[in-house]
A and B are shown apart, each in its own frame.
Chain A
Amino acid sequence: MKELRKKTIEKQKEKGKKIAAVFPIHYPRELLRAFGYHPVEVWGPPGVEREEGFKHFQPYTCDIVMRGFSFILKRKEVDLILVPHTCDSLQGMASVTKDFVNPPVPVLTLYHPRGRKKEDVEFLEKEIKRLFEKLCEITGKNPGKEELMNSITREEKADAVFGELYEIRDDLNLTDREFYEFLRTREFLPPEEFISMAKSLPEGKRRGEGKKIIISGILPEPMEIFDLINKKGGIVIDDDLACCGRRIYQSGKSEEPFRRMAERILSAPPDPTLGSRLEERIEYLLKKMEKRKADGILIYNPKFCEPELFDFPFIKKELTNRKIKVQFIETEILRDISHQTIQRIDTFLEVL
């Protein structure tokens, strides 16, 4: 995946595209593309040294900020940084980067609302328009409605394929790791390439069998976590991950591009960073468990992630009350899986 990501960036650069480094989670990819930017997401790549992060942030800051910040400052290929307002830590990072670090490229922010009511959609529409105006200022371009709608349609097609892959998962001859590595190419591939690669995924019976688990949390790093689950007798039947399943967007309805982009983002499944209530999240997880006939749920999170940590106790309580097995693992974004994680997964799958 790392190689493909690197090659994609090189290829896009050759094509004259600029690279937008985008922090998690929700943002309008289509808007960046309409301005000739190629978005590449930064989820704190595993193993990146946190040195730069430590110069600016306290040790109780999450790994996505620490590593992502350290990573981004060293990348010469980056032409723009976009930080959606996902949480307090990313807010602090964005503000420090904009105000104190002053990197040689523009740092833009996007505030998304913590609700999905009419006024939330309208606010996000205006917020996206604000971002559009900033991009006009930076690039000197001013894409019209048609251009924006084209860009939106391209992303919506890729979104639809992304969602469909979950439905045909059992008919893809892939291991869990292969499947999720492919899903995560959406973080850096242009939509057409993603669609074309999706179509060429090998058909057949899914590889691996065992206890069916759903993985929830922010991101499954290191990706070897899937191999470990398979090795210990489990399969990942579905997910509620911020980088994957929580971004199965529905196409917007409006013919107005900014409104449509807002509708798309706010169509995402329940997500604490979008202000979803605990009731919604519990119901969503229960439905998923039932649909996939899952045996248990693994909550796998980077340390210090407040949106996740706050939701966990009552989610666990409700699921446990329904005799659903829940395992919580807190981790750092490392290259290797820690011994503690191995033991916990081992025990969890044994209990299942």
Chain B
Amino acid sequence: MSVSSVVRYTLGFKTFGRAFLKIQKFSDMYKMARLKPQPDDPLNPPLKSSVLLKEIMSVHYLEGRYVEGVKKVAWVSSGAPVEPLRALGYFVVYPENHAALCGARRVAVEICEEAEREGFSMDLCSYARTDIGSAISGKTPVGKIPKPDLLVVCTNICQTILYWFKNLSYYFKVPLAVIDTPFIFDDMEEHQIEYVKRQIEEMIITAEKVAGKSISFKKLRKVISLSKEAAELWLEIIYRGRFKPSPITAFDTFVHMAPIVGLRGEEITVIYYRKLLKEIDERIKNGIGAIKNEKKRILWDNLPVWFRLNWLSRYLASRGANIVTSTYTLQWGELAPMIDIERPLESAAKIYLYPLLNRSVRYKLATMKKMVKEFDIDGVLLHSDRSCKPYSLGQIDERNLLVKEGIPAVLIDADHNDMRAYSEEQVKNRLDAFLEIL
């Protein structure tokens, strides 16, 4: 830890930066309070908690600008066990979160091109291209992403993430801890749990070495209990979509999921989701839906199309269609009951083996059918995401089987980050046809 880094961190982040963000928050709150419902807007005014969300995420990225040399930095994949890293005091960066932010801000293509110039094919995941492009060029909408001291990757979302992190490890010349989670075709087996547990233990040893200190299990338990509480709150929030009219849309959850992915195990995440849940419950109490005229309720499958989130949300709402929930956002909550604070490593091994993306297409279809029932869904919209093969392969059969069971379902071709692999006219046509048959 150098003196100059600490001074920069204290002044830039803790003093002036945070003060600036506080002022910005008040200004946003003021704007939000003055926001009048627009008669021609198919959406009701946004959730007020969005102001706090913006502040939390801005604080996180602002800290990232000044954190190098003050805290150890770990870059972590979204499905990796982050809790030991938090207990060791790491500043944690989620490249996937950052890539999604680039997508939403519509700068992903420009950054992807940086990676493509280095030889990364356009057929590769656009998150990976965004992130690698950002690492190579330094381009980012958040000012600066701190360089990693350690990389932690878990294959429970895809193998792509491993190839991507191998590249990062090679580029930054830093250690890469791999947690390889065998794909669950049938049921989870003892040797698979044991294997993942041993790798988590190994990852902790590597993380301790890099951090230069030993983990405190008391701290780890505290972090895990915060993770558990946040995941439980998140699940509650997702389940509020069952109400009619639904107080939230899946588009809301795509945005509000940032803390559960990127700040899991932090106290602020729990505080935030408590507040968000309270606001949603207020909406339910007052009969306020997220869209003004909810006629049809839809389930979304796969990642969002970040760069057209707003358009999709309004376009569907204007036709009375509310995407009330998604298989994607459910993943960060559905396993909350499995978190066991007293047996942290073993329960972590099970949880990190079990997300939807690490399980068979049969399980995914069963999850969709369950959600159709629980959320009283009228139809399923499956986003065939060119960038995400593990999520997308199987969707053709899933759609056919849903339709066979009398659940209307449609596939739309897009990409989560790359606008060049997206045709709005084609998507619009399919959506129109789908809404007509609902």
Contacts and interface: CB of A to CB of B under 8 A. Distances in A.
B170 A314 contact: yes
Interface string B404-438: 00000000010000000000000000000000000
Interface residues of B, number: 50
B170 A277 contact: yes
A88 B158 contact: yes
Interface in B343-380: 360-362, 365
A328 B194 CA distance: 40
Interface in B384-401: 384, 386, 389-390, 392-397, 401
In this complex, the member of B118, B182, B389, B392 whose beta carbon has the largest number of chain A beta carbons within 10 angstroms is B389
B161 to A, nearest CB: 10
Contacts of A92: 361, 389-390, 392-394
Contacts of B397: 56, 96, 100-101
A99 interface: yes
Nearest to A318: B170
A95 B191 CA distance: 20
B113 to A, nearest CB: 14
Interface in A310-344: 310-314, 316-317, 328, 330
Interface string B160-186: 101110110111000010101011010
A288 to B, nearest CB: 19
Given A111-B182, A115-B180, A126-B191, A60 B390 contact: no
Nearest to A277: B166
A100 B361 CA distance: 8
In this complex, the member of B178, B183, B362, B393 whose beta carbon has the largest number of chain A beta carbons within 10 angstroms is B393
Nearest to B388: A88
A317 B390 contact: no
Contacts of A304: 123
Interface string A42-61: 00000000000001111011
Interface in B128-173: 128, 155, 158-160, 162-164, 166-167, 169-171
A123 B183 contact: no
A111 B183 contact: yes
B166 A123 contact: no
B120 A313 contact: yes
Interface in B2-26: none
Contacts of A89: 389, 393
Contacts of B97: none
Given A96-B393, A277-B170, 4 more contacts: A56-B396, A92-B361, A95-B362, A101-B397
B167 to A, nearest CB: 6
Interface of B: 118-121, 123-125, 128, 155, 158-160, 162-164, 166-167, 169-171, 176, 178, 180, 182-183, 185, 189, 191-192, 194-195, 198-199, 202, 360-362, 365, 384, 386, 389-390, 392-397, 401, 413
B167 A113 contact: no
Contact of A60 (B189, B360, B389): B389
Interface string A170-183: 00000000000000
Contact of B393 (A93, A109, A275, A310): A93
A279 B170 contact: yes
Given A61-B393, A309-B124, A85 B119 contact: no
Nearest to A98: B185
A119 B362 CA distance: 30
Contacts of B413: 58
Contacts of A147: none
A58 B392 contact: yes
B191 A123 contact: yes
Contacts of A126: 191, 195
16 contacts: A55-B396, A60-B389, A87-B159, A88-B158, A88-B389, A88-B390, A88-B393, A95-B394, A96-B394, A100-B361, A123-B182, A278-B169, A279-B170, A312-B121, A314-B170, A317-B119
A95 B395 CA distance: 12
Contact of B202 (A98, A119, A278, A279): A119
A169 interface: no
A330 B379 CA distance: 39
A284 to B, nearest CB: 14
Contacts of A272: 163
Contacts of A17: none
A40 interface: no
Q: Which A-B residue pairs are the 10 nearest by beta carbons?
A: A92-B393, A313-B119, A310-B163, A99-B362, A126-B191, A111-B182, A123-B195, A100-B397, A278-B170, A114-B180
